[in-house]
Structure 1
Amino acid sequence: MAFNGPISEVFPTPQDADRSTVSHVQKGFKISARKLPISKSGPIDEMSNSLGIPVPEMIFGDNMVSIEHLATGWRMEFNAYDALDRVDKTDKNMLKVAYSQEWSSSREKTHEGIKEVVKPFDWSYTSDYKGTVTHGKGFELQKDNSDPIPLELLKRPEPILFFEEVVLYESELDDNGISLFSCKLRVMSDRMLLLCRLFMRLDNVLIRIRDTRIYVDFVLRQVIRDYTEKEDTFDNVKKHLLFSGKPPNDLTIALRDPNQIVPLLPEVSHTLESITIS
């Protein structure tokens, strides 16, 4: 489907979810991903009304990633609405920079037909969303972090049986950076890893990364959730990139790549949770 096609072009609707969802079943677990075009104005307004905040410019309201254990019905998913519902809806964590009020006002005008959306909120769309358990028991905190994700097993050169990458929302922060929430998964024979990442870069101010890793051992029926928050000032990240030997001409590209940035950011918070499905 061409996004630059005629206005009369018919876009997929939520009713097309079944044929727009791809799935893979591996040892009793069903892993699914759905990718549809950017939401249209009607669903966007409904979502903004329900959330109580303007949504990002690029919202993929029908996209999702899910993991389901078929025998027990245990299921968790990642979706745009629940991710945005974790954005701070007060001015408590709102970034205080020179153009924040101007940016907020511009977004309010965009949604001026929506009532009660003109209150302060974290306009950087930073979310601590870790996924939604839609059926079955929730995760339990590992107080001593005794059972982390087995990285050595993930480093094995195993065939990837299923791979998907799904964007939930994106904002260019009024051309002052980016806030992007996306999910990437890979499934191997005995295990899988799902990485959902919030990458927020506010130019000349701050860079944040919020990573949620979901590791599933299909044989043991164990699910581990690893959540990490990292952030640093924009200037510090630029200095680290230069000190690492990055040529000045390559800085712009590096600052747009979270994979290059994440090793440079200090850890702010880390939690480890797990469940065994039975």
Structure 2
Amino acid sequence: MAFNGAINEPYPKPEDLDRSTLSHTQKGFKISARKLPISKSGPIDEMSKSLNIPVPEMIFGDNLVAIEHLASGWRLEFNAYDSLDKVDKTDKNMLKVAYSKEWSSTREKTHEGIKEVVKPFDWSYSTDYMGTITQGKQFTNEDAEPIPIELLKRPDPILFFEEVVLYESELDDNGISVFTCKLRVMPDRMLLLCRLFMRLDKVLVRIRDTRIYVDFNAKKIIRDYTEKEDSFDNVRKGLLTSGRLPDDLTVAMRDPNQLAHLIPEVKHTLETLSL
């Protein structure tokens, strides 16, 4: 969606948000996705000040994915602000690059004019964000069952599909950190995958997945959260061992779908709720 208004005109307006939100209602559940251009400088500065950290270069502050149960009002959404608010705002989880002093000096000048914001934080923008429940019941880990993968493998028609980016950073040319949400809705069920993919070149590869499975008929929701992590060299060696040609490694190292099965799991939680 292009923005052609005056440079100082407030954007997005309420009508832009409404027009850019696509929704599908299935058996009492409303699934919505909104995709808008990268946030403008004003909202970016406001978000940085509110979060107390600089935000990534590409921040889609108005994008979101939401699931709502119309009868009960229960609602879960994924948005850029809340995902970044879960980034560690201390130096406990800061990663090091080969030229860390030079990198840090450059990074401190990224948001000139709001220097009070610049302080140690996890500049890889790694987050353990699993969504925001804006209304209704919370998840519980009691009697939680795994997502029924076999049902998702059935050739059911896909009634609604969207992919939404919440933020992306190239980590000052040291790799990538990107948070995306992808959903597909079938007649009796849906799956939402929200993924943090972070690759710090020559250091680390990290994938954090939140899967939301909804059984429309049973009104049951499962949240499956997984963290995977390994050294950059181990992942690269895994690609070679799996038969990848050396010339293909650069492309493969940018694709989490080609890497996920090679990276060991370091954390897994399973939760559920019934409406």
Q: Same fold (TM over 0.5)?
A: yes
Check whether the contact 2:28–2:71 (CA below 8 A) recurs between aligned residues: yes
Q: Which of residues 251, 254, 266 is equivalent to 1:256?
A: 254
* Distance apart, 1:109 and its partner CA: 1.3
The amino acid that maps onto 1:169 is Y
Report what 2:48 is aligned to.
48
Report what 1:81 is aligned to.
81
The amino acid that maps onto 2:253 is L
The amino acid that maps onto 1:45 is D
**Sequence identity (%):** 76
* Distance apart, 1:113 and its partner CA: 1.2
Superposition pairs of residues 13-162 of structure 1, within 5 angstroms: 13-15=12-14, 16-142=16-142, 146-162=144-160
* Distance apart, 1:94 and its partner CA: 0.6
Helix, strand or coil: the match of 2:33? strand
Q: CA RMSD in A?
A: 1.8
How far apart in 1 are the matches of 2:75 and 2:235? 38
How far apart in 2 are the matches of 1:47 and 1:101? 26
CA 1:252/1:10 → structure 2, altered by over 3 Å: closer, same or farther?
farther
Helix, strand or coil: the match of 1:252? helix
* Distance apart, 1:107 and its partner CA: 3.0
**Unmatched segments (≥5 aa) in structure 2:** none
Check whether the contact 1:54–1:111 (CA below 8 A) recurs between aligned residues: yes
CA offsets 1:144-195 (integer angstroms, 9 cap, x no match): 7x51100000000000000000000000001110000000000000000000
How far apart in 2 are the matches of 1:130 and 1:229? 12
Match status 1:200 vs 2:192: no
Helix, strand or coil: the match of 2:48? helix
How far apart in 2 are the matches of 1:220 and 1:182? 28
CA 1:157/1:9 → structure 2, altered by over 3 Å: closer, same or farther?
farther
Helix, strand or coil: the match of 2:83? helix
How far apart in 2 are the matches of 1:70 and 1:234? 45
* Distance apart, 1:12 and its partner CA: 4.6
* Distance apart, 1:10 and its partner CA: 7.0
* Distance apart, 1:115 and its partner CA: 4.4
The amino acid that maps onto 2:252 is A
The amino acid that maps onto 2:32 is S
Match status 1:210 vs 2:237: no
How far apart in 2 are the matches of 1:104 and 1:137? 42
Question: Deviation above 6 Å: which 4+ runs of structure 1?
Answer: none
CA 1:65/1:14 → structure 2, altered by over 3 Å: closer, same or farther?
farther
